[in-house]
Amino acid sequence: MKKFMFLVDRIRGMQDILPPESDIYFNAELVMRSCAEFHGFSFIRTPVLEFTELFNRSAGDSSDIVQKEMYTFEDKSGRSVTLRPEFTASVLRAVVNGLYGNAVWPLKLMYFGPCYRYERPQAGRYREFFQFGVEIFGAPLVLADLELICLACDIFNKLGLRNFNLEINAIGCLNCRKNYLDAVKKFFVSIKDKLCETCKNRLNINPMRIFDCKNPECKNLFKNAPHTVDFVCTECLNEFEDLKKLLEINNIEYIVNTRIVRGLDYYTKFVFEFVVNFDGTDLTVCGGGRYDNLSASLGGPDLPATGFGIGFERIVKLLQRSNFSKNKQKIKIYIAYLSENAKFVAAAIVSELRDLGIKADFDIVGRGIKSQMKYANKLDYNFVAVIGDGELNKNIINLKNMQNSKEISFNLDTFSKDIYNYLKKSFNKSEFDILNS
């Protein structure tokens, strides 16, 4: 195939999401939104561009996002603006400024869209990436965190992802966090000479960020570092025990990982991650936790909050190895035609099938019958019907099942309704509704 050097190439770190991969994105988003809606969440959309101060104050000056990963620039009015690196701060701003006075509490919101971080592009990691996530506002009880974890489990099950581990950790409230930070700093100061340069810098800004280091030598040093659960107050520890008890009651297996701190400074009390092993590497596909103090720190009301985010690129990687996109494929019928007269009939039938909720298509570029059949085969059409002058004279149409090559004849005048009824009988009701919803 001839390749062209187009006048303008895409920006490094950005991505074109093309079929068939884009179909996985689309269908996975539908599954996630459907699951969240079933759990009582409403959809929210926020601007991709925000004032930089929002992320500086929410993510924390010590976070990698603020220090080196944000797309920040001045607009024509000289104001510092940033392409959103994550959703939580934007959603919280929208809630406080737009929904707070009229909201019915607790407020349960879901979102999906692109985020931007200026980090080095590598396999599976882009400067533009997509996130699906949910937030619950106004719910101080640990039951809200259970709700999130149950929703995430529901989503992964619906996507067909079974082999994941839920890891949880108690990181304490602002009061007990101070004692832990002092202990962590003291520990890392004692081994400062063995740390990488990045960790040495983090030691002076926020020692907890050292646990995010991917350097194997640094990670090996963490084994003897203080654990967060040893420093949390009685209230936080009791809530963490409640969370574990609730997970056990709901038959949700979990692992307590005392090294999870998450990459943003606003998390408090407890955090969690869903981890999947991919080619021998543990991938975090979902992460979240509680952030009760974020609203007040940004000048808003005291507003208990908890949420999670799912990285779409990693989910798509996993789904590409499964039958996910095939399982979500709709029933598709291609109407091929052999003559000028048959062309008009094919166009009418396609319109009728679409009105009945069945995906249908026909040739619009003037291909011969062999090319039409090749086209239908390449795009995995489940059924193909061929119309020529012979079929018009007999007032019949033959429908071919592309999987088993069986053909069935239908009356041309009632083909659309007859094929609809035939498909409903061929698939059970739930399967037919899913395939054509």
CATH code assigned at 418: 3.40.50.800
The total domain count for the chain is 2
DSSP 8-state symbol, 212: G
250 CB burial (10 A radius; 0-12, 13-18, 19+): exposed
Q: Give the confidence band of 10 by pLDDT, cuts at 50, 70, 90.
A: confident
Q: Which of 129-138, 262-271, 336-345, 356-365 comes out lowest in average pLDDT?
A: 262-271
Contact by Cβ (8 Å): 39, 147: yes
Place of tokens 């259970």: 146
For range 186-208, the mean pLDDT: 85
CA torsion sign for 239, 242, 246, 248 is positive
- Domain-embedded: residue 196: no
Residue 182 resides in a domain = no
Query: So what's the pLDDT on residue 437?
Result: 47
Q: Are 167 and 257 in contact (CB under 8 A)?
A: yes
d(CA 188, CA 389): 83
Q: Of 137, 159, 158, 161, which Cα lies nearest the Cα of 148?
A: 137
Residues forming a β-bridge with 170: 270
60 vs 31, residue with greater confidence: 31
Angle at CA 203, nearest 5°, toward 202 and 206?
65
Q: For residues 265-285, give the mean pLDDT.
A: 87
Q: Is 179 a domain residue?
A: no
Q: How many Å apart are CA 427 and CA 412, to the nearest integer?
A: 23
CA distance 168 to 255: 6
Indicate the residue among 279, 303, 324 that finishes a domain.
Answer: 324
DSSP string, 389-418: HHHHHHTEEEEEETTT--EEEEESTTHHHH
Query: Looking at the predicted structure, is the pLDDT value of residue 373 above 70?
Result: yes
Q: Single out the residue of 343, 342, 331 nearest to residue 402, CA to CA.
A: 331
pLDDT over 80 (residue 432): no
Decide which of 303, 324, 345 is a domain's last residue.
324
Looking at residues 358-363, what average pLDDT do you find? Answer: 94
**Residue 425 vs residue 39, higher pLDDT:** 39
Does the structure show a pLDDT above 50 at 366? yes
Crossing angle of helices 234-249 and 142-159, rounded to 10°: 40
Check whether residue 26 and residue 124 sit in a common domain: yes
56 and 164 belong to one structural domain: yes
- Same-domain status, 336 and 266: no
Position 59 scores a pLDDT of: 62
Alpha helices in 270-339 (DSSP H): 294-297, 312-319, 324-327
Do 364 and 315 fall into the same domain? Answer: no
- Is 405 within a domain? yes
Please give the model's pTM, rounded to 2 decimal places.
0.86
217 is a domain residue: no
* pLDDT band of 392, cuts 50, 70, 90: very high
Residue 420 belongs to domain spanning: 329-435
pLDDT tens-digit series, residues 15-28: 999 988 999 999 99
Q: Is 187 within the bounds of a domain?
A: no
Eight-class DSSP state of 49: E
Q: Which residues pair with 305 in a beta bridge?
A: 137
- We report the CATH number of the domain holding residue 249 as 3.30.930.10
Structure tokens at 138: 């106004």
Look at residue 329 and tell me whether its pLDDT is greater than 80. Answer: no
Higher model confidence: residue 110 or residue 12?
Answer: 110
Residues 276 and 296 both lie in one domain:
yes
In this prediction, residue 95 has a pLDDT band, given cuts at 50, 70 and 90, of very high
Q: In terms of domains, do 64 and 155 share one?
A: yes
* 305 and 412 fall within a common domain: no
* Claim to verify: residue 337 and residue 307 sit in the same structural domain: no
Same domain, 345 and 274: no
Q: Categorize the per-residue pLDDT at 94 as very low, low, confident or very high, splitting at 50, 70 and 90.
A: very high
pLDDT in tens, 121-156: 665 678 999 999 999 999 999 999 999 999 999 999
pLDDT for 66 beyond 70: no
Q: Which of 342, 380, 394, 383 is nearest to 363 (CA)?
A: 342
Q: Answer yes or no: do 138 and 237 share one domain.
A: yes
Same domain, 152 and 299: yes
Q: How many helices (H) and strands (E) does the chain have?
A: 17, 16
Quick one: which H or E segment has residue 164? strand 164-172
395-416 exposure pattern, b = at least 16 Cβ within 10 A, e = fewer: eebebbebeeeeeeebebeebb
| Cα–Cα dist 294/300, whole Å | 8
Domain-embedded: residue 310: yes
Question: Of 115, 33, 28, 124, which Cα lies nearest the Cα of 317?
Answer: 124
- Are the CB atoms for 61 and 52 separated by under 8 Å? no
Q: How far apart are the first and last CA of the chain?
A: 37
Q: Which residues contact 26 (CB under 8 A, 6 or more apart)?
A: none
**Mean pLDDT rounded to a whole number for the chain:** 88
What pLDDT, on a 0 to 100 scale, did the predictor assign at position 426? 75
pLDDT tens string 302-322: 999 999 999 999 999 999 988
**101 plus 156 within the same structural domain:** yes
Phi, psi dihedrals of residue 193, rounded to the nearest 5°: -65, -20
Question: Is 273 a residue whose pLDDT tops 70?
Answer: yes
What 3-state class would DSSP assign to 407? strand
pLDDT at position 424 over 50: yes
Question: Does residue 140 form part of some domain?
Answer: yes
Contact status, residue 201 vs residue 180, Cβ threshold 8 Å: no
> What digits encode the pLDDT tens for the residues 243-265?
999 999 999 999 999 888 776 67
Confidence of residue 434 (pLDDT cuts 50, 70, 90): very low
**CA pair distance 35, 29, nearest whole angstrom:** 10
From the list 60, 82, 63, the residue with the least C-alpha distance to 72 is 82
**Residue labelled with tokens 């101070």:** 178
Asked which of 78-82, 97-101, 304-308, 393-397 is least confident by mean pLDDT, the reply is: 97-101
pLDDT band at 290 (very low <50, low <70, confident <90, very high): very high
Q: Compute the C-alpha angle 243/247/253, nearest 5°.
A: 125
User: Residue 232 in contact with residue 170, Cβ under 8 Å?
Assistant: yes
> Which residues, listed in sequence order, are joined to residue 308 by a DSSP beta bridge?
134, 288
Last residue of a domain, one of 283, 303, 324: 324
Lateral strand order in the sheet of 164-172: 42-43, 107-116, 128-137, 305-311, 281-290, 268-278, 164-172, 255-256
